[in-house]
């Protein structure tokens, strides 16, 4: 346990723990593998879960206070260099720097809790490829995600969104900043969006500062071992967030929040498939993306436009 924590927290090589722990290098490596596997199996269901109905209500309440009703978090990717990548896979995992890397896609909220983690995509891809391959919107497309209902400028919406940078596609569920804003309203929106989107950047920084093994190059050979290491570090990161979170703050319920999502009970598979396509098209609706952003611009101006700050 002590050897595993020293490697995860300090990022030291396995043979560097011999002076303090007095065990062999191979034993240390095996301990790290088993420890990370145990953390994922025991705590993964609780500390790396999708938001439930109460979580969504709290995220929507905090998002509305920050000027973004319907915001569920911020989305971005992090690159982890794979030093001991097998030669056969080096070309596939080589990124822009020419060195093998593995991509981690993350959704983080205001207190740096990581709700979504998709790890293992080769570094030769960009953030768009990772988003298309990840399971971020799978529950929403299937109609089993908790409801996220909110109102902006008198119009009701039923799908939450994430803040993202400019590389991501213009979907209804992704809100981006405005490049080179000219008007005062657009400048205010860009400032607020970029400030709130820093949540995921801060989450990456805190994760790497707490677990130095994910900050430096990885020295393990197997991809499944890297997946367990990254996942266990995220789980323990969320444990620390939960321990430091203020449990006295009440969660504001938005109306009546059901414990389960609305599930389609139709028997006909054709109807289910057509409804899945409709939800899928709604997620990737480009016109709805611009309409939502325009409404948010007006909402932010009415809320913060007259403030001195």
pLDDT for 208 equals 94
Over the chain, what is the mean pLDDT? 87
Span 278-293, pLDDT tens digits: 888 989 999 999 999 9
Residue of 186, 199, 196, 197 lying closest to 293 (CA atoms):
186
pLDDT for 263 equals 46
Average pLDDT over residues 99-127: 92
Q: What does the block give as tokens for 246?
A: 């203020």
What distances in angstroms separate CA 54 from CA 73, 146, 198, 251, one per listed residue?
A: 15, 9, 24, 8
Q: What does the block give as tokens for 73?
A: 């978090």
Please, how many CA atoms are within 13 Å of residue 297, restricted to the half-sphere of its CB?
17
Does the pLDDT of residue 196 top 60, yes or no?
yes
Quick one: pLDDT band at residue 277, thresholds 50, 70, 90? confident
What is the spatial distance between Cα 277 and Cα 270, in angstroms, rounded to a whole number? 11
pLDDT for 119 equals 92
Quick one: pLDDT band at residue 74, thresholds 50, 70, 90? very high
Span 156-193, pLDDT tens digits: 998 999 999 989 999 999 999 998 888 899 999 999 99
Q: CB count, 10 Å around CB of 253?
A: 12
- Comparing 139 with 40, the larger pLDDT belongs to 40
Per-domain residue ranges of the chain: 1-47, 49-222+230-245+269-304
Does the pLDDT of residue 210 top 90, yes or no?
yes
Does the pLDDT of residue 13 top 90, yes or no?
no
Does the pLDDT of residue 45 top 50, yes or no?
yes
What's the sign of the alpha-carbon dihedral 148, 150, 155, 160? negative
258: CB partners within 8 A, 6+ apart: 53, 147
Average pLDDT over residues 246-250: 52
Residue of 303, 309, 305 lying closest to 63 (CA atoms):
303
Quick one: pLDDT band at residue 247, thresholds 50, 70, 90? low
Average pLDDT over residues 71-87: 91
Q: CB count, 10 Å around CB of 201?
A: 14
Does the pLDDT of residue 147 top 50, yes or no?
yes
Q: What does the block give as tokens for 93?
A: 């995992």
Q: How many residues does the chain have?
A: 309
């Amino acid at each position: 346990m002590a050897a595993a924590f020293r490697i995860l927290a300090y990022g030291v090589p396995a043979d560097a723990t011999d002076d303090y722990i007095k065990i062999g290098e191979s034993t240390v490596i095996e301990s790290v593998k088993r420890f990370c596997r145990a953390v994922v199996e025991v705590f993964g269901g609780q500390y790396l879960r999708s938001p439930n109905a109460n979580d969504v209500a709290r995220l929507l309440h905090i998002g509305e206070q920050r000027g973004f009703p319907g915001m569920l978090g911020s989305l971005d990717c992090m690159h982890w260099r794979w030093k001991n990548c097998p030669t056969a896979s080096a070309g596939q995992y080589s990124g822009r720097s020419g060195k093998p890397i593995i991509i981690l896609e993350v959704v983080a909220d205001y207190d740096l809790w990581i709700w979504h983690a998709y790890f293992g995509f080769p570094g030769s891809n960009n953030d768009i490829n990772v988003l298309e391959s990840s399971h971020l919107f799978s529950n929403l497309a299937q109609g089993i995600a908790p409801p996220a209902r909110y109102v902006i400028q008198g119009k009701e919406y039923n799908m939450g969104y994430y803040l993202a940078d400019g590389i991501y596609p213009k979907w209804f569920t992704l809100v981006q900043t405005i490049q080179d804003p000219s008007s005062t309203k657009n400048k205010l929106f860009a400032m607020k969006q970029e400030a709130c989107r820093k949540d995921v950047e801060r989450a990456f920084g805190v994760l790497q500062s707490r677990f130095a093994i994910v900050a430096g190059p990885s020295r393990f050979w197997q991809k499944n071992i890297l997946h367990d290491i990254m996942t266990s570090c995220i789980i323990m990161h969320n444990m620390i967030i939960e321990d430091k979170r203020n449990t006295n703050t009440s969660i504001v319920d938005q109306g009546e929040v059901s414990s389960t999502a609305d599930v389609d009970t139709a028997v006909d598979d054709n109807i289910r498939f057509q409804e899945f396509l409709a939800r899928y098209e709604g997620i990737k609706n480009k016109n709805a993306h611009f309409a939502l952003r325009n409404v948010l611009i007006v909402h932010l101006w009415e809320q913060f436009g007259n403030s001195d700050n």
